[in-house]
Amino acid sequence: MSQRGLADRAGISRSYLCDIERGRGSQPSIETLDKLAAALGYSRNDMLRAGGLIEGGPTDRPSDDERRLLAVFRDLDDAGKSLVMRFARFVHADEHSWVQAGFQVDDTDAASVSPAQSGPTLFDLDS
């Protein structure tokens, strides 16, 4: 990726990005570091680790899909982030709430049995 492309994706000037790369001027703020990390599809910790500023950390590396999702999420406004979180909680609860249904003896019992839903629904407010 070119400097211009990265600067545009991160929302910073190319000259400032060049200064950061060359170690000139002030050190980038956490906000700038987060913008660069999101534009590259990495976390802040990944950037600090790559720069030799921190060691270790989780051994599980996020997949490319996780990095792309995080970059999109970080670019949303607060309302968009809230919607994504509500949807994610709904999908997560739905994915983990299914249990094997019991066997039904005949079709008359099927109408009287309704599956109980536990956990958040798509329409729940933030909790």
Q: What is the mean pLDDT of each run of 10 residues along the chain (127 residues)?
A: 90 91 83 90 85 70 82 91 89 67 54 54 59
pLDDT of residue 28: 85
Spatial separation of the C-alpha atoms in residues 89 and 86, rounded to whole Å: 5
| Range of the structural domain that residue 40 is part of | 3-50
Under 8 Å between Cβ of 120 and 127: yes
Sequence-ordered alpha helix ranges (H) in 41-77: 44-50, 64-74
CATH number at residue 31: 1.10.260.40
Q: Phi first, then psi: what are they for 61, rounded to 5°? A: -95, 135
Indicate the number of domains in the chain. Answer: 1
Closest to 38 (Cα-Cα) out of 18, 2, 12:
12
pLDDT of residue 65: 85
- pLDDT (tens digit per residue) in 12-48: 999 999 998 888 877 888 899 889 988 888 888 888 8
Q: First and final CA of the chain: distance in angstroms?
A: 40
